[in-house]
Amino acid sequence: MSSICYLDCSATSPLESEVLDAMRPYLEEELGNSGSRTHEFGIRANRAVENARKQVAEVVDSSQAEVVFTSGATESNNIAILGLRDFAAERGRKHIVSTTIEHKAVLEPVDVLKAAGFDVTLVNPGANGRVKAADVLDAVREDTLLVSVMHANNETGVIQPISEISAGLRGSAAFFHTDAAQSFGKDIKTLQDQRIDLISISGHKIFGPKGVGSLITRRRGHNRLPLKPIMYGGGQERGLRPGTLPVHLIVGLGMASFVALRDQKERAEKCLDFRRKLLAGLEELTPAVHGDPDFHLPHVVSLSIADIDSEAIMLALKDEVAISNGSACTSASYSPSHVLNAMGMSAVEADAVTRWSWCHRTPEPDWEAIKQRIKILL
């Protein structure tokens, strides 16, 4: 086991032991395809899938029928956005409202629709990384198809005003989608709002396995949302997402959801305690903390120290802590963070920002050793 302290939980979180224990039988013994209804192996697999569906649904107070399993939040975002294309064309509602700080898994599907003739309005945040609900709602028109605003930003940890936007959309025909990859199982009450039509979640952000997620598709009254599949080849997941279901991964997501709901308060308290220790440990270096201090996830800090380049800091600390300088999904591109740019930072300022993210299981690193390594760079 490495002695390096892992502080990149916003990229991917460690697998919870209860989750691994729940998954193991479906890797070693229970071999059935959940779509096979002619024998006991398939029936047991289907039963496990439906139990997991219930566990996911309980976190957001939805019905089992509203849970669609996917490969992760990226696929969920694509289905939520591109799956409404035909409906938009039929109804003449080809306007989308989103923000400039969304994950690329939202911005790029939106760009696809823009290239197909949709009108797109992207709302900017303030310097604190938070958009104003009024700015989002003011952008909504009669022909608005979809409003898509992330629940919490993956780079800064800033929580967006989802509840206020939801309240302002009551009476509007526009669908409301939120990418909740960073917040599902962590901010429970907000995502239980029944006005949120579509919620994207990912297993590996909540101490579950990689490669599985879900799209919550809330009904309006008795009506299913007018989503169309973006892939074809089977009738799985109510015809919306084809392919043989990975039972072991789905079981893992279900158990991770169950544990998150059960332990949410305790986890948050531990994460807030770690945050206090982190900021105290680095205080001598006078770090600049980025993002709204009143609306943030308890397990993420975005900061910069003087004008030291983030790559230099990560290199200096590589034997102590594992941190990042942005989204893991776009880190290979070496392009300036679009999130930090939207917050008004220059390229030089953005290049100095590092993200530190932890969890309830993270051991405390040697802050003195970390300080000394960074001091060399000053």
Instruction: Find the distance separating the first CA and the last CA of the chain, reported in whole Å.
Output: 32
Exposed / middle / buried, residue 268 (Cβ in 10 Å: 0-12, 13-18, 19+): middle
Calpha distance 180→166 (Å, rounded):
14
Is the C-alpha dihedral spanning 314, 107, 144, 183 positive or negative? negative
- Residue 329 annotated as catalytic: yes
Calpha distance 264→185 (Å, rounded):
7
Q: Residue 352's closest CA among 299, 296, 285?
A: 285
Residue at token pair 């939805």 = 62
Calpha distance 165→123 (Å, rounded):
13
Q: Residue 209's closest CA among 364, 26, 3?
A: 26
135: helix, coil or strand? helix
Of 5, 9, 329, 359, the active-site residue reads 329
Cα atoms in the 13 Å half-sphere on the side-chain side of 32: 17
Token code pair at residue 114: 């823009």
- Say which residues have a Cβ less than 8 Å from residue 183's Cβ, sequence separation at least 6: 151, 152, 159, 190, 191, 297
Calpha distance 22→376 (Å, rounded):
46
Exposed / middle / buried, residue 378 (Cβ in 10 Å: 0-12, 13-18, 19+): exposed
Calpha distance 21→248 (Å, rounded):
11
Calpha distance 95→84 (Å, rounded):
11
Calpha distance 237→245 (Å, rounded):
9
Q: Which residues are catalytic?
A: 329
